[in-house]
Amino acid sequence: MVEEISPEDVESKIDDENVQIVDIRGPGQFKRGHIPGAINVPMSDLPSRIDEHEWGDEIVVACPIGQSSVQAAKLISSFEAVDDDARVASMAGGYREWNGELQTES
């Protein structure tokens, strides 16, 4: 079972350097606005790109409505380079429930 974390809790962790936020939406959606500091690894690319990243102790996965992020969190937590003690969570409700600031790419 994947842990879910509220968007408010994610927002409170944005400045925490130990938390990685992974946005699994497509690049176009990501560029239009994402959680500050998030990295973009689209769900379709995640299996082939999972080894490109250094995974930390706390990882939060975000998607449009909080469903595909659960699957992505399961995939990330099963990856051998992710520490067994790492906390991998899905942001409940996804971007639909996010009320915080969004960072854009020009």
pLDDT tens-digit map of 37-61 = 999 999 999 999 998 988 888 999 9
Is there a contact between 4 and 66 (Cβ–Cβ < 8 Å)?
Answer: yes
Give the residue among 11, 30, 42 at the shortest CA–CA distance from 103.
30
Task: Answer for the pair 29, 102: CB distance below 8 angstroms, yes or no.
Answer: no
Residue 25 — very low, low, confident or very high, per pLDDT cuts 50/70/90? very high
**34 DSSP assignment:** B
Greater confidence, 94 or 14?
94
CA distance 3 to 23: 16
Categorize the per-residue pLDDT at 106 as very low, low, confident or very high, splitting at 50, 70 and 90.
Answer: low
